[in-house]
């Protein structure tokens, strides 16, 4: 999956949206949050910083991986943050307690079987696009101060 001209564009979630995503998912210090298509690392870094959880970003763009690692290093979070260069479709999710996603519906549909097979009690939080054909447990709306738009956040708990 390529960024910028490829199939999955890099569009960062506004920080006020990130904060709401994390408050809904509520990662615990002993849990692992995985962000598929982690971009500049803002979700994983915020999760590790505010919730003290372990956080892993999976990103294809080498420059964004490097940027994320620099941010984690500056914040002294490398003990809790990992950023790997890889294909989000191939990355193993078995250890994830929380999965964060800002992906297009087609990609969410392709990931759906893997997401729904996460361990019971795992949470999935999606920005703007729901998992096709799956009813969310909660939907929140956030008017972002950055762009003035109302963003939807979908929370799913695996049962």
State residue 10's pLDDT score. 85
Q: Cα 21 vs. chain centroid, distance in angstroms?
A: 9
pLDDT digits (tens, 9 = 90+) for 62-100: 999 999 999 999 999 999 999 999 999 999 999 999 999
* Helices then strands, each counted (H, E), the chain: 4, 7
**CATH superfamily to which 15-157 belongs:** Vaccinia Virus protein VP39 (3.40.50.150)
State residue 6's pLDDT score. 44
pTM: 0.93
pLDDT digits (tens, 9 = 90+) for 113-146: 999 999 999 999 999 999 999 999 999 999 999 8
Q: Which residues contact 19 (CB under 8 A, 6 or more apart)?
A: 46
CA atoms within 13 A on the CB side of 131: 24
What is the chain's percent helix, strand, coil content, to nearest 5? 30, 25, 45
Alpha helices in the chain (DSSP H): 15-25, 42-51, 62-74, 105-116
State residue 146's pLDDT score. 87
The residue extents of the domains of the chain are 15-157
pLDDT digits (tens, 9 = 90+) for 28-64: 999 999 999 999 999 999 999 999 999 999 999 999 9
> Residue 129 has what DSSP assignment?
S
């Amino acid at each position: 999956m390529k960024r910028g001209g490829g199939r999955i564009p890099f569009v960062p979630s506004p920080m006020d949206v990130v904060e709401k995503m994390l408050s809904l998912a509520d990662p615990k210090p002993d849990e692992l949050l995985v962000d598929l298509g982690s971009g500049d690392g803002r979700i994983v870094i915020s999760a590790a910083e505010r919730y003290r959880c372990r956080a892993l970003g999976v990103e294809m763009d080498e420059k964004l991986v490097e940027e994320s690692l620099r941010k984690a290093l500056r914040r002294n979070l490398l003990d809790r943050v990992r950023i790997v260069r890889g294909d989000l479709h191939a990355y193993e999710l078995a250890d994830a307690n929380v999965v964060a996603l800002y992906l297009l519906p087609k990609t969410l549909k392709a990931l759906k079987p893997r997401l729904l097979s996460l361990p019971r009690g795992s949470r999935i939080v999606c920005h703007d696009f729901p998992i096709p054909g799956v009813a969310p447990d909660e939907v929140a709306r956030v008017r972002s101060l950055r762009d003035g738009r109302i963003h939807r956040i979908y929370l799913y708990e695996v049962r």
